[in-house]
Amino acid sequence: MSELIDGFGRVHTDLRISVTDRCNLRCTYCMPAEVLFLPREELLSYEEITRVAGVAAELGVRTIRLTGGEPLVRRNVADLVAMLVALPGIEEVSLTTNGLLLVEQAAALRAAGLRRLNVSLDALTEAAFERITRRRGLDRVLAGLAAAQASGFTAIRINAVSIRGLTEREIVPLAAFCREAGLHLRFIEFMPLDADGAWAAACVLSGAEVRMILAREVGPLEPVPVVDPGQPAVDWRWADGAGLVGFIDPVTSPFCDRCDRLRLTADGRFRNCLFSTTEWDVRGVLRGGGSDSEIVELLRGCVAAKRAAHGIGSPAFERPARAMYQIGG
């Protein structure tokens, strides 16, 4: 079957799959303090997810990232990893996690075929960690990172959201920690996807500002040639050879022109953008006895409707009705 190409010539080869909206943290940029989660019967089963992913692979999807919520709170998620890794055409399965459950699950995930981890970590002091996540647990995240490395994970990225007035003091300690531990640090601009609706342009600590802080306080950075045009991060290398640091700047420097990803929510909706205001219901097809051809048509319709850009900052921008935890990071 032909590839998934939108009206702007972008070829879609990456599928982000949320396996749950549940989480054991309550990060301010993602979830409300009090939340009512989806009933479990509304979540796609692992078999349903694998069927959809298999159809997507036939249309040229090559990489899958599992997200949430927190994917590791869903029981036996390593089984899903193994199912997806076995699909013809899928070249890599990765996972984004807050790290709280990695001590218990890192070895099983590695054995299932997972090769890449993204760990969300915005602060290295317990006080700041609690302010952001509304929970304790920094020590468990750090132990989880150590467990992942001990289990053989070498491709580990640390994702840190940058929020003005909240995370500035964490930038340098995070950089020092990742340089020492051999971890690839990435700073992500605060996006208008928080459940509380508190986002404002003034809260965005830009990637350019973070890079200036790092160059001044830690050491000079050198640009890295782009290897994967679809990658949202722009990577820089520490001039002293101590690894990479990346910047994902969806607000001040959008990468929409090279976006190659689609999303599947935990309750079975396709989305063509984090900021899409339209969804395509594949769960209805799956549970209504629909064919794979119907899934193909949904995917093609989703891709065909993709806009040129998300439009953050423009008068026409409309926040999606769902917050980050309901979409999948």
Higher pLDDT, 63 or 229: 63
> Residue 55, Cβ neighbours under 10 Å: how many?
21
pTM (predicted TM-score): 0.96
pLDDT of residue 229: 79
List b or e across 182-220, with b for residues whose CB sees 16 or more CB atoms inside 10 angstroms: ebbbbbbbbbbbbbeeebeeebbbbbebbbebbeeebee
If 0-12 CB within 10 Å is exposed, 13-18 middle and 19+ buried, where does residue 37 land? Answer: middle
Give mean pLDDT, residues 267-287.
97
Q: Lowest-confidence range among 111-115, 123-127, 193-197?
A: 193-197
pLDDT of residue 300: 98
pLDDT of residue 226: 84
pLDDT digits (tens, 9 = 90+) for 252-266: 999 999 999 999 999
Does 316 score more than 90 pLDDT? no
Does 1 score more than 80 pLDDT? no
pLDDT of residue 266: 98
Residues 6 or more apart from 299 whose CB is under 8 A from it? 4, 55, 56, 59, 262, 270, 280
Does 276 score more than 80 pLDDT? yes
Percent of the chain, pLDDT > 70? 100
pLDDT digits (tens, 9 = 90+) for 125-164: 999 999 999 999 999 999 999 999 999 999 999 999 999 9
Residue with tokens 């040639």: 225
Please, which contacts does 205-211 make with residues 24 or more away whose CB atoms are closer than 8 Å? 205/162, 205/163, 205/164, 205/167, 205/168, 206/162, 206/249, 206/251, 206/252, 207/162, 207/234, 207/247, 207/248, 207/249, 207/252, 207/253, 208/249, 208/252, 208/253, 210/162, 210/171, 210/247, 211/236, 211/247
Does 102 score more than 80 pLDDT? yes
Give mean pLDDT, residues 173-197.
95
Task: Categorize the per-residue pLDDT at 227 as very low, low, confident or very high, splitting at 50, 70 and 90.
Answer: confident
The CATH class of 14-327 is alpha beta
pLDDT of residue 270: 98
Average pLDDT, the chain: 96
**Distance separating alpha carbons of residues 250 and 259, to the nearest angstrom:** 11
Does 93 score more than 90 pLDDT? yes
Of 205, 228, 215, 102, nearest to 158 (Cα)? 102
Give mean pLDDT, residues 200-210.
96
Give mean pLDDT, residues 158-172.
96
On whether the CB atoms of residues 49 and 15 are closer than 8 A, the answer is: no
Of 314, 233, 324, 230, nearest to 275 (Cα)? 324
On whether the CB atoms of residues 119 and 97 are closer than 8 A, the answer is: yes
pLDDT digits (tens, 9 = 90+) for 33-76: 999 999 999 999 999 999 999 999 999 999 999 999 999 999 99
